[in-house]
Amino acid sequence: MLVSPKIFYRNCYGKYAIAAVNVFTMEQVHGLFRAGQKANAPFIVQMTPVARNYAHPEMLLAMISAAAKIYPRATYAIHLDHGTEAHVFDAIASNQFNSVMIDASHDHFETNVQRTKAVVEKAHKYNVVVEAELGVLSGVEDDVSVDEKHAKYTQPEEVVEFVNRTQCDSLAVAVGTSHGAYKFSGGQGIQFEILKEIQNRIPNFPIVLHGGSAVNIAEIDRINKSGGQLKAGAAGVDSNEIVKSIEYGVCKINIATDTRLLWTRVHREFFQDSPDLFDPIIPGQTYIEEQEKFMLEKFDLLGATGKASQIKSLKTI
């Protein structure tokens, strides 16, 4: 069941959060949809421009469409993550996305407003919701790379003007998380005082947390024991902080790094433990099962397990 994120956010605000999971491969799509159906949890399946370039948007969308038939009780939205105008307008024209993100966060405030506003005006004509970003996250993921010294927290005094002028439907904020596996090398964690002030200024408005992966150290250790060379110091978002952020209006948690680490661990262990085997189906099936297990745990953490039934009782838009 394809549902607008607006419905998700209206139902979850302050109570639970929606997992928004980046996908690149068939195995990731299977694992995500299987877990969503089993947990009766709403979720957002999202793709980045890099994923579209890798697999081709038609291939990714076809896999998602097939998964919706294979797992008919899954309740989901389809989102374009970190798009430029070219990516966003192509996604809107495809008539298959019901959510897009325009990432103009690296621009000056006024330019960000104008670019976001133009996308919103186009998207809303096609009933597509728009996520914008204010503030700059550090880290590296896909082709997004921002040096730590250029990272900038979202300024709470700017959010009201930004939301009012752009009419965006949700807002990704920079409150301490970052992209990639090295989110909190300084140990600072989520800046809840900023998050609280943002919520006070735009109450009941859906906030998005990018860089929401936990980066399980046990996964890092298993990867390195199987021949990996991931650097020490990898650190993700503490689960307690993720849960706490929900009460401050965070409705959508982006997850990408964790599923990549999972893919790496499964395949490194397979090639190390079974050097005589070469069938891609074996690690592929293991990855689907591990992705499913991971997502079931994530739905529980976010409080989303069982909430899809509530969504289905609402009128979709």
Catalytic residues: 81
Of the candidates 255, 285, 247, the residue with the CA atom closest to the CA atom of residue 43: 255
Cα separation, 295 vs 250, in Å, equals: 18
User: Taken in order 270, 274, 276, 277, is the CA torsion positive or negative?
Assistant: negative
Residue 71 has φ and ψ, to the nearest 5°, of: -120, 75
Count the neighbouring beta carbons within 10 Å of the beta carbon of residue 240: 10
Task: Give the CA distances from residue 170 to residues 25, 61, 253, 296, in Å, rounded to whole numbers and listed in that order.
Answer: 27, 23, 12, 25
**Which two tokens mark 27?**
């195995």
Half-sphere exposure of 192 (CA within 13 A, CB side): 11
The dihedral over CA atoms of 281, 284, 288, 293, expressed in degrees to the nearest 10, equals 120
Token pair 């590296």 is at which residue? 140
